[in-house]
Structure 1
Amino acid sequence: MDSFKNLCNYFFSKSRTHYFFTTIFTLTLIVFFFLFSACSDGGPASPPAISSTSLPSRRRSPSDELTPLPPPAFLSGARLASQSYTACSTTITIPAEKTAEEKFDSCDIFDGSWVIDEGSKPVYEPGSCPFVDDSFDCFKNGRPDSDYLKLKWKPHACKIPRFDGVKMLKLLKGKRMVFVGDSLNRNMWESLVCAMRESLSDKTKVFEVSGLRQFRSQGFYSFIFKDFNCSIDFVKSPFLVQEWKFLDKAGTRRETLRLDMMEGSYNKYYDADVIVFNTGHWWTHQKTFQGKYYFQEGNHVYNKLAVADAYKKALKTWAQWVDENIDSSKTSVFFRGYSASHFKGGQWNSGGSCDGETKPITNETQLSPYPWMMRALESVLMKMKTPVFYLNITKMTDYRKDGHPSIFRRSSSNIKNRVFQDCSHWCLPGVPDSWNELLYAILVQSQNQKLSSFVH
């Protein structure tokens, strides 16, 4: 009994009682902390999955017809066999309660293949659209084969909605969409105008503001869809930054490219509702690629600057301008990636050709390495504050060696102008129609996300 009393006195003495309860309290807090962490995450902590839905969203207004898209989710793509074709990808989601055609889970819509769709027709018939540039109208220029029109882009992991011109016009009602860039963006712009025009019963309600028909030499064009009070515009800006001239020491005016200055046409589109940018092909021209006394920043003209460094500087100038001047609560910004060319035996001005190609590439190992331009672009996009949706069409175009005008860039009666083949641009109807179908899918997704937010 005395031993038991002594033990009690030992534990419940004033000083020891303090230490005893302090220890118990500390252990209880540690156990509680671990239990709370496990329960709040539904299990052990793990890195969050990256998807478009995990990114910050902005408040939406019921009055908005078009909701700006969230920032793109950049996911590292799998390296393809025998080449370095690794790309950033973007996932999109459409709510499951939509129609069967619009049901698809979160997936990379730019990861897929071209499939033959015998039962479907082009979104506009060959030769039917008066707005197609002469150099893109392969049907009128005498191209005899038509299998290239039967191929449709099919993502591997989902089904995208088929292009609906009327629905597209309703999404853009009261809005202004502008394509800014080089002639490959003109290719895409004409495709979209023709596809939406085809959906209308009264095609006289579509007209071009300037009244001109030749799109090669002019810098700005606008088509109005009168019944929907919307316009689809094209602004020529092949580098996105400003082409310039300066006087050298001998007093000769020399061409340069101001890498630190946006091309001056930005006042024609900065406040548009949707802007689709691109740049790429003009950076492969000889004077650009050599880089001698061509690139300029401020008053400094580089004696020699690698085109890859110049391209990234120009993109940073573009990105800074977008971040400082685009109101992302009003304007949705897209950037379309590099469109593949398929010259064999030289370039456009040195005997390069692609005529006779009637089938696409089907083996991924035959694709070209992933372009350095797109790696540069992706590194810039990921550092931007403004949400930009990346239309990564590079791989899907690399398959389509059959889709270019080649010798059918001019009428077959004009033999003199058939010397140079066009293996960069695309026949219309053709490959750019699929780019616009993906653009349409993204805009549908944006609208559905907005409607879903009101329901919930």
Structure 2
Amino acid sequence: MTDSPTLLSEILKQVTPKRTALSKSTSIRIVIVIAFGFAIIVFTCGVFFIVNSPTNNPSTWFRNIDLTQSHFSVVFSRFFPNVSTASSQLTQSPGSEVFSMQYSPDDSHGGGFNNGSSTEGNNNDNSHVDRSEIVMFSPLRNWTDLMKELNMSEASLNELQHCDFFDGHWIKDHSYPLYEPGTCPHIDEPFDCFHNGRPEFGYESFKWKPKGCNIPRFDGEMMLEVLRGKRLIFVGDSLNRNMWESLVCLLRNSVKDKERVFEASGKMEFRSDGFYSFIFADYNVSVEFVRSIFLVQEWEMADKSGSKKETLRLDLIESTVDCYKTADVLIFNTGHWWTHEKTSEGKGYYQEGSHVYSELDVAEAFRKAMTTWSRWIDANLNPNTTQVFFRGYSLSHFSGGQWNSGGQCDNETQPIKDEKYLLEYPPLPIISMLERVMMGMKTPVFYMNITRMSDFRKDAHPSIYAKANLTDEERRSPDTYQDCSHWCLPGVPDSWNEILFTQLLIKHIMQLKQQ
């Protein structure tokens, strides 16, 4: 019995090393299993993000990943909804991405940026939408499936690719307008002929039909899918704002939850100078407008008496370019302000460097300005990531005078039907200058030449219905200016956007085919 403790001690000495070796071997196996499992998770997540990219261009997708929430943070918030993200504190520079911009609702110039400064005072609840609910992912679509959904053959696609969309005519179509009059709250008063009391609405039921093809009917849901995760920006004058508001209404009409469509700074009126952005939250799309009536810089300099003198710098691109140089789609226009007295006369107004021309022909001044614009486009935009459009000159239909001299169009209720009554093309020398400049650009620009297309539609202007709550006597007073330049909404700009939709769709299909 006295040997028992010794025997037990010997047995333990032999067993202990074996247990230690076994424990080390098991630990190593556990570490290997955990590492392998983590690698599988990382690989799976990587594949998930790539496959669910909302755009066909990986560089564009990764550029958009740092929106209010990254794609990862959106997924993360699904599982941990009470964990806050840093998305509400973004302070990136203007023009970086859709939700990285903070807007000042009290800006006196319209929808200006404040570069991340406080937005206190913005009582619009939409400005605090829970971004974790944004649908960030859209499955990649096979181009053949998309063609089937469009009921489009390869022959018809080829036809569209080679079609002159702007050589055609207007046909009566009672399935138009594309959205119900009076249902879009984002139409400015001067374009809102329905609420301003226009008594007849026949002008709304016309469809533009090119001679060489059939353009697809506007599909807002499909356009939002094509634009998913992107910024589309209109840059120009009030005629481009007319088109912008049209597109906002067309796209909004396809969205089920209208509360998910809102102007980023909460504004409801868009006539002031500045920047405006409508967010389509379920698609992470922004449709924006930047007011720039000349596309070059308006300027002030001291004259000989020391007082300020307004000039137009033909050699400087306009100052808001940082707002839109990262856009995915850009639609520019200018033209109407070049026909006003000060610009058309060209006396002591145009400037290059420190030199102010005592007199310069407006067509030559316009050529210089468009050359400045084209050089900026060529130097700053990547055609692989940004599609550029230029919408051409939209004709007015004043009869008996101009807008400020008794011009009228209120008795027009039908479009021009015979082409021989259209103005000879081009009706203005600045149009030829624009086309000449664009031909010399290295960046592809899709020219939306809507001049003749708009010339037909003398019936579709607001005329005396550009203001609400006027009596018939007030409307027809000699002191009331008629608007025969802009367009009622719904109306003609909807057809411009139908062509824009078609061109974006063609580009999208071709990108899918290349994959």
TM-score class, shorter-chain normalisation, is 0.7 to 0.9
> Which structure 2 residues correspond to residues 12-411 of structure 1 after superposition, within 5 A?
63=58, 98=148, 99-100=150-151, 103-104=156-157, 105=159, 106-118=162-174, 120-369=175-424, 370=426, 371-411=428-468
Deviation string, structure 1 residues 242-290 (Cα, Å, up to 9, x no partner) = 1111111111211110000011000100110000000000000011111
Is residue 443 from structure 1 mapped to residue 504 from structure 2 by the alignment?
Answer: yes
Residues 255, 294 of structure 1: 8 Å contact kept: yes
Residues 101, 162 of structure 1: 8 Å contact kept: no
> What is the Cα-based RMSD across aligned positions, in Å?
1.9
> How far does residue 452 in structure 1 lie from its aligned partner after superposition?
1.9
Structure 1, unpaired ranges of 5+? 1-59, 67-93
> How far does residue 100 in structure 1 lie from its aligned partner after superposition?
3.2
Residues 239, 279 of structure 1: 8 Å contact kept: yes
The amino acid that maps onto 2:487 is W
The amino acid that maps onto 2:334 is T
Larger Rg: 2
Aligned to 1:30: none
The amino acid that maps onto 2:514 is S
- 2:513 pairs, out of 430, 452, 456, with 452
Residues 65, 171 of structure 1: 8 Å contact kept: no
Deviation string, structure 1 residues 57-100 (Cα, Å, up to 9, x no partner) = xxx9664789xxxxxxxxxxxxxxxxxxxxxxxxxxx9996543
Q: 1: CA distance between counterparts of 2:180 and 2:56? A: 38
Alignment CA distance shift 1:101-1:65 (3 Å): farther
Residues 178, 269 of structure 1: 8 Å contact kept: yes
Alignment CA distance shift 1:189-1:97 (3 Å): closer
Q: 1: CA distance between counterparts of 2:409 and 2:437? A: 33
- Between structures 1 and 2, the one with greater helix share: 2
Deviation string, structure 1 residues 406-426 (Cα, Å, up to 9, x no partner) = 000001426379700000000
Q: 2: CA distance between counterparts of 1:252 and 1:447? A: 53
Residues 165, 196 of structure 1: 8 Å contact kept: yes
Length-normalised TM-score, structure 2 = 0.69
Residues matched between the structures, number: 367
Residues 60, 385 of structure 2: 8 Å contact kept: no
Structure 2, unpaired ranges of 5+? 1-54, 62-142
Identity %: 56
Q: 1: CA distance between counterparts of 2:503 and 2:439? A: 19
> How far does residue 218 in structure 1 lie from its aligned partner after superposition?
3.1
Length-normalised TM-score, structure 1 = 0.78
Residues 65, 447 of structure 1: 8 Å contact kept: no
Alignment CA distance shift 1:61-1:223 (3 Å): closer
SS class of match (1:108) = coil
The amino acid that maps onto 2:459 is D
Residues 461, 488 of structure 2: 8 Å contact kept: yes
SS class of match (2:389) = strand
SS class of match (1:180) = strand
Aligned to 2:480: 419
Residues 56, 512 of structure 2: 8 Å contact kept: no
